[in-house]
Amino acid sequence: MANPDRVARDYLALWNEPDPSIRDRRLRDDWTPDARYVDPLMTGNGYHGIAAMITTARAQFPGHVFKMRGMPDGHGPFVRFSWTLSPNNGLPIAGGTDIVRLASDERIAEVIGFLDKEVA
C-alpha cells in the first residue's frame, strides 16, 4: 500500500511547482496518462488537461502556496488529505479535502476535490 503522507506531499509539491517543465515531469512520473481531476471549480483529464488546470490556478493565485492541513490517511487504493491555500506567510484564503484514487502501480488515477472554505 502506498504511503499516504508521501502521496499527499508529492501531490501538493506538483501544485506548488513554479516550473512548468518540472510539473510536466512530475505529472508523467506520478499520474497515469488518463488521470482525471474534478472539484467544484475545475476539471482536468490526462496530462495536458491537468497541467493546463494547474497552470490556470497558479496564474489566478500568484505567490500562493498549498500546505497540508492535518495528517493524510489511506484505505486500499485511496488517500485522503486536507490542504490550505495561502499567500506566502499569510492567512489561508481557501481550503479543501482531496480524495486520491491510486492505480495498481501507485500512480494517481483520479482526484476528487472538495472545497472546505470558499475563496475570499
Question: What residues does each domain of the chain span?
Answer: 4-117
What pLDDT digit, counting tens, does each position of 42-97 carry? 999 999 999 999 999 999 999 999 999 999 999 999 999 999 999 988 899 999 99
Q: 10 vs 21, 30, 40, CA distance in Å?
A: 16, 8, 22
Is the predicted pLDDT of residue 119 greater than 80, yes or no?
no
pLDDT at residue 117 in the model: 63
CATH of domain 4-117: 3.10.450.50
In a 10 Å sphere around its CB, with 0-12 CB exposed, 13-18 middle and 19+ buried, how is residue 14 labelled?
Answer: buried
Give me the phi and psi of 28, to 5 degrees please: -65, -35
pLDDT at residue 9 in the model: 97
pLDDT at residue 88 in the model: 85
pLDDT at residue 87 in the model: 93
pLDDT at residue 120 in the model: 47
pTM above 0.95, yes or no: no
What pLDDT digit, counting tens, does each position of 8-55 carry? 999 999 999 999 999 999 999 999 999 999 999 999 999 999 999 999
Closest by CA position to 95, among listed 80, 78, 114 = 114
